[in-house]
Chain A
Amino acid sequence: MIDILALVYIMIFIPLFCGGALAICKIINIKIPSYGSFIISLAGSAITFLISILLFDYTITYQGYTLENNYPICIIQNIPLYFGIYADNLSAIFVFFLTIMFFVANIFSYRYLLQNRQGFERFYIYLNFLQFSLLCFFISSNLIQSVAFLMILSLIEYLFANFYFQKPLSQENSKKVLEINIFADFIILIVSIAFLYFSTLVPDTINVPTMGYNNINSLGLYSFASLNPIIFAIICVLFITGSIIKSAQFPFLSKVYLTSGAPNPAFTVIISPVMLGLGVFLLLRLYPLLNLTPVVFEILKIIGIITALLGALVASKENNMKNVCAWTAVSQIGIAVFALGFKMYGASIFYLLCSGFGVALISCTLDTISYSTGSQENIKFLGGLREKLPLAAVAFLVGSVSLSGFIFSGFYSRATILGNLFAAGNFAYIILVLLCSFLTAFYLFRAYFRIFEGDYRGTIEPKMVSRAMNFAIIILFISCVFFGFLFNNYAGSIFTLLGYNKIASTNPFLNVFAFIVSAAGYYLAYNIYFTKRLRSLRTRALRRLAAQHFYIDSFLEFIFRDLILLIAKILAFFEKYILNCIYAIPPTTTRLISYLTLKSEIKNTNSQFFAIIIWICLIMLLTCLLYFKTGVIK
């Protein structure tokens, strides 16, 4: 009999062990051959992948059973903080997805890093620590553990964004990423502590792990009953504020493309729902709490759909391949958040994962193109790569088709959301989701036509892609094609537990209409970028706005830098001139008094008069001070 709990602990600590071993070798200068780091890391990720399959199987077999374990690791004040495992269906799905992503990233990374041989060990150390932190986050048993690992993940994201620290752009962007993440982390930390305080007032929660997810329902209900409703709403709103910042939702969209300085395999992980969906995962975990405050769902709806639309619009203008992937990921997560806003808990997770595979496939494909064309990332200087990189072309096409909702996984997830919206009679939102699909189809096929069709516009002759890279693409290719179908038909029990309705219950006419809308997006891209018949349809104003990211970056720049610096300058002025003047008052007064006293000695009547007034004032001041309260000195 396999002890699943022990295996889960092994799964969590293997990346830590691999990363730690590599870090120690680096610190004490033990030279490991370049493939040594790769093999250690790959072996670690393969084992975690296998164990995650076992965990996944376990959750399917024992439906609704949650694997739980807690170790007290430290006591702050009288509050025990636990390191624990809470592996329910939700965790199992995300862990499964996570381990696939890391396995792929490891396979993909070796050839990529061999290009310039820079930071080989560093990359694998960061990657392993990232995997460890993510596993700890997704399997965490309590909110404090989640927040702690959320902060560590912010740090690792910064390290990846600053991986090529010789590049000034990487330095600047990584700084911004860390600032935004820290901002979000502090919000979540403060609200978590507030919630911790209010929830520990419950007498029967003393013996349970602090802020445990197994108890979140009763904690939420108790807090809701005992707290001022406005304060409870503030707690929930702040939770979602922190979460949407972590998930790069409106207005913090730029967070994702700022991490584009990371090495491509790591970037694939960063823009996948594994990293970008951290905030959404937290919201899913806190769902029972948020469910008590309707206003937060309204906020989620609006923010989700705005993010999806803006992300898609910006991606339509973007020429950098990495940024196209980043904006695609943001847009897709926006729809998942939007679905969560409609309390479509299961559909939101399903969409998140389906789109995650699509985005990862596109990202990996574009990475191979970048590798093949000598780090050329501007799609303007590419073209005609279909013959030279046929697998990449097919993979990109499959990813695009899936994300646009034509067929494959993307179709199932979109149909579920549309079906639910239709059932609720939210036609306005259906139109907005369809608009997103239209834009997704448009910009993905735009990228496809620019990269794979026409003539090659680059200067470096494309080289062959290694088999390992192709293998990584094939894994994602299969996942992207079959994930939605398999899970919809064979692993639905998990999603049923999460409140997900099968595709069979959706409206077929709506699905056909959605297909037509996506096809319209494809048709437009085809006619503008392939046949070039409808080039005149391009709207300059919209393109300009999209190029400027709808001035969201400028707004954030103003808030996070210019405004702070402006206030700092005003205060510095106050400090330098006004405060110094105030400081000058006591010595000046002393000099004045001594001058007046001197004058009084030479019988100057005016000075004597002033001196008397000053002395009277001083005596009065002292008297007031002494008799301030009781007037009696014992």
Chain B
Amino acid sequence: MENFSSTIIFTILPLVAGLVIFLGLFKNNTVLIRRFAKYFSLFYFIYAVFEFFNRNTNSEFGSIFTNRFYITSWATGGISIGFDTIGSIFALLVSFLILICFVIAKSTINTKQRIFYSFVLFFESAFLTILSSHDFCIFCAALLFAALCNYVLIFNFSSLHAKNAAKHYLLLNSFVAFILSGAFALVYAILKYNAIEANIINFAYSSTDLSGTIQLILFIAFLLISAIKIPLFGFHKPLLGIIENANASLACIFLSEFILGFFIFIKFNLYILKDIFQIFAPAIAIFAIFNLCYFAFLAIGEKNIKKSFGYFCFSQSSIALCALCSISVDGICGAIFQCISQSLILLGLFSCYCFASQIFNTTKLPFMGALATHTPKLAAFTFVLTLAGIGMPFTSGFCAKFLCILGGFSTQVYSQNVIWICNLFIFLGFTLGAFYLIKTFQNIFFGTDECNKCKTSDLLRHRFLALLGLSACVITLGFIPYVLTGAITKYADMIVSSFLM
């Protein structure tokens, strides 16, 4: 019951905080709203850390998270809720990303603060509900609600061009959520028919007893959701449109979408529907490798800094997807680590690029240059994050890439020749990604001076703190990756052993 109550509090708290802001308790006092949201996020993040830390009985940081789902039946309706390992880690990560975005929002969100802060908190609550819910109905509702919050935020806080993209994104998400609802209804009926309590846990246990057709339908539905959120080739346009027109504070939204995509992919496609995944794994791996190279090439060729960054994000996401398809402990660990690492790095880089484009008052790369002499602090942070993105040692990027490649080699699914060919393309993707980062950094901070007419003040204090926090995280994870890998390994072991069974 303790876990149940704490999880409920954990998922409901942001919703309550959001409602407090939305219902006008602070009477449009922007300073008060901002401070409330910021400090709430800070304490919430600290609470989350302590909450998860307390669950560990041995007080070892490496084994905070357990492998089991926390199932607690609710007497009135049988709602079961609880975070598993990956859900806990992602919850922590998202609460940290949102905290950073709230810190940055001080100078980026100048109007409609009430809507911004409340809807981001609603989104967080919906996100955590998806991570923790074991109920079909709540899961689908939270998925739709998150998409709606996303739409409201982008519609209100992006430029005019993003509105169309936001609309398409909402439509796509809703469409797939409805398909998923239908599929869940089918599973619900089957489970009820067999006198099994209908929730995701029981679905996980009895998934292998379901017919191949139903498993396939479910697999496709989940794959479509992941494909939209990660995103995969063909589904990337709406999210690209959003990133192209987003500001630094909205980075938490699209990064949360990536994380959500991975969560759904790992939990449902990889773990629960493992039989179908084994059939589709080679195809998904090839598709992910194609994604990696395709988006990396596009990122290099693109002149618009935010658009190219969007392509780069998609390319980086594909690395994790490739690693997942290896179905090895190292690969799955690497994929989760890559997901966490890339979220931190991408948030930092996107913020830096947004600050730079604010200074130059343009998003076109050819009209940027020589910013290093005017804003050395911004240059230093961008450089650190760029290095982490490339995968320099002692940054989280290195550990993530290291594990992903190791996972690629340690797979038992494919023949050695195939592994080498795949790794060759992954190497190409890494190299292209590194070239893109170097090129962008050089273009913005060196080259011809384009700062003649722009205001060139260096980082404001809150921006400095946000970037410092992100850089510190990236470097800390580079030095002590075991903080995460220790917990993830157990989860990965569980998945791989289920495949072996």
Give a binary string over B320-338; 1 marks a CB under 8 Å from any A CB, 0 the rest. 0000000001100110000
Question: Is A633 at the interface (CB under 8 A from chain B)?
Answer: yes
Question: Is B427 at the interface (CB under 8 A from chain A)?
Answer: yes
- The distance from the CB of B264 to the nearest CB of chain A, in whole angstroms, is 21
Segment at the A interface, from B46-54, B142-150, B224-232, B404-412: B404-412
Contact B438 A175 (CB under 8 A): yes
Question: Is A116 at the interface (CB under 8 A from chain B)?
Answer: no
Contact B372 A76 (CB under 8 A): no
Among A158-200, those with CB < 8 Å from B are 162, 165-166, 168, 171, 174-175, 178-179, 182-183, 186-187, 189-190, 193-194, 196-198
Contact B435 A564 (CB under 8 A): yes
Contact B446 A165 (CB under 8 A): yes
- How far is B434's CA from A571's CA once the two chains are assembled, in angstroms? 19
B-side contacts of A75, CB under 8 Å: 481-482, 485-486
Contact A634 B406 (CB under 8 A): no
Closest-by-CB residue of B relative to A162 is B446
Give a binary string over B443-463; 1 marks a CB under 8 Å from any A CB, 0 the rest. 000111000000000000000
Most chain B CB inside 10 Å of its own CB: which residue of A76, A571, A579, A627? A76
Contact B489 A171 (CB under 8 A): no
A-side contacts of B417, CB under 8 Å: 231
- How far is B409's CA from A627's CA once the two chains are assembled, in angstroms? 37
A-side contacts of B435, CB under 8 Å: 179, 182, 560, 564
- How far is B300's CA from A567's CA once the two chains are assembled, in angstroms? 10
- How far is B439's CA from A231's CA once the two chains are assembled, in angstroms? 34
A-side contacts of B405, CB under 8 Å: 189-190, 193-194
Would A77 and B438 be within 8 Å (CB), given that A564-B297, A632-B213 are in contact? Answer: no
Contact A171 B442 (CB under 8 A): yes
- How far is B438's CA from A183's CA once the two chains are assembled, in angstroms? 12
- How far is B402's CA from A148's CA once the two chains are assembled, in angstroms? 11
Question: Is B137 at the interface (CB under 8 A from chain A)?
Answer: no
A-side contacts of B427, CB under 8 Å: 186-187, 190
Contact A183 B431 (CB under 8 A): yes
- How far is B301's CA from A568's CA once the two chains are assembled, in angstroms? 5
Closest-by-CB residue of B relative to A148 is B393
Question: Is B430 at the interface (CB under 8 A from chain A)?
Answer: yes
- How far is B442's CA from A168's CA once the two chains are assembled, in angstroms? 11
Give a binary string over A190-224; 1 marks a CB under 8 Å from any B CB, 0 the rest. 10011011100000000000000000000000000
- How far is B216's CA from A569's CA once the two chains are assembled, in angstroms? 37
B-side contacts of A171, CB under 8 Å: 442, 446-447
Contact A572 B330 (CB under 8 A): no
Contact A197 B302 (CB under 8 A): no
- How far is B430's CA from A174's CA once the two chains are assembled, in angstroms? 20
- The distance from the CB of B409 to the nearest CB of chain A, in whole angstroms, is 4
- How far is B405's CA from A178's CA once the two chains are assembled, in angstroms? 22
Question: Is B390 at the interface (CB under 8 A from chain A)?
Answer: yes
Give a binary string over B277-306; 1 marks a CB under 8 Å from any A CB, 0 the rest. 000000000000000001001101110000
DSSP majority for the A interface?
A: helix
A-side contacts of B447, CB under 8 Å: 168, 171
Would A193 and B409 be within 8 Å (CB), given that A182-B431, A186-B431 are in contact? Answer: yes
Contact A630 B213 (CB under 8 A): yes
Closest-by-CB residue of A relative to B303 is A572
- The distance from the CB of B289 to the nearest CB of chain A, in whole angstroms, is 14
Question: Is B196 at the interface (CB under 8 A from chain A)?
Answer: no
User: B438 touches which one: A178, A567, A627, A630 (CB < 8 A)?
Assistant: A178
Would A197 and B216 be within 8 Å (CB), given that A567-B297, A633-B211 are in contact? Answer: no
Contact A74 B479 (CB under 8 A): yes
Among B394-416, those with CB < 8 Å from A are 394, 398-399, 401-403, 405-406, 409-410, 416
Task: Classify chain B: how many residues form its interface, as a range.
Answer: 35 or more
Contact A571 B402 (CB under 8 A): no
Task: Classify chain A: how many residues form its interface, as a range.
Answer: 35 or more
B-side contacts of A183, CB under 8 Å: 431
- The distance from the CB of A26 to the nearest CB of chain B, in whole angstroms, is 11
Question: Is A152 at the interface (CB under 8 A from chain B)?
Answer: yes
- How far is B438's CA from A543's CA once the two chains are assembled, in angstroms? 34
Contact A628 B216 (CB under 8 A): yes
Contact A197 B213 (CB under 8 A): no
B-side contacts of A189, CB under 8 Å: 391, 401-402, 405
Question: Is B21 at the interface (CB under 8 A from chain A)?
Answer: no
Closest-by-CB residue of A relative to B488 is A77
- How far is B489's CA from A183's CA once the two chains are assembled, in angstroms? 30
- How far is B233's CA from A575's CA once the two chains are assembled, in angstroms? 10
Would A626 and B297 be within 8 Å (CB), given that A193-B409, A564-B435 are in contact? Answer: no
A-side contacts of B302, CB under 8 Å: 568, 572
Closest-by-CB residue of A relative to B334 is A77
Question: Is B204 at the interface (CB under 8 A from chain A)?
Answer: no
Would A175 and B442 be within 8 Å (CB), given that A77-B330, A625-B217, A634-B210 are in contact? Answer: yes
Contact B409 A197 (CB under 8 A): yes
Question: Is B420 at the interface (CB under 8 A from chain A)?
Answer: yes
B-side contacts of A628, CB under 8 Å: 213, 216
Contact B446 A78 (CB under 8 A): no
Among B249-265, those with CB < 8 Å from A are none
Would A197 and B410 be within 8 Å (CB), given that A76-B403, A165-B372, A629-B216 are in contact? Answer: yes
Question: Is B392 at the interface (CB under 8 A from chain A)?
Answer: yes
- The distance from the CB of A179 to the nearest CB of chain B, in whole angstroms, is 6
- How far is B467's CA from A348's CA once the two chains are assembled, in angstroms? 48
Question: Is B480 at the interface (CB under 8 A from chain A)?
Answer: yes
Contact A571 B190 (CB under 8 A): no
User: A155 touches which one: B387, B402, B403 (CB < 8 A)?
Assistant: B387
Question: Is B374 at the interface (CB under 8 A from chain A)?
Answer: no
- The distance from the CB of B203 to the nearest CB of chain A, in whole angstroms, is 14
Contact A148 B398 (CB under 8 A): yes
B-side contacts of A234, CB under 8 Å: 420
Closest-by-CB residue of B relative to A144 is B402
Give a binary string over B179-218; 1 marks a CB under 8 Å from any A CB, 0 the rest. 0000000100010000000000000000000111110110
Given contacts A189-B402, A194-B423, 12 further A-B contacts (CB under 8 A): A75-B485, A79-B406, A171-B447, A179-B435, A190-B427, A194-B409, A564-B435, A568-B302, A571-B294, A626-B217, A628-B213, A633-B213
User: Would you mind naming 30 contact pairs between A and B with Cβ atoms under 8 Å apart?
Assistant: A75-B485, A76-B402, A76-B481, A77-B330, A77-B333, A77-B406, A78-B489, A151-B392, A165-B372, A166-B373, A179-B438, A182-B434, A186-B427, A189-B401, A189-B402, A189-B405, A197-B406, A231-B417, A234-B420, A564-B297, A564-B432, A568-B301, A568-B302, A571-B294, A579-B237, A626-B213, A628-B213, A630-B211, A630-B212, A634-B190
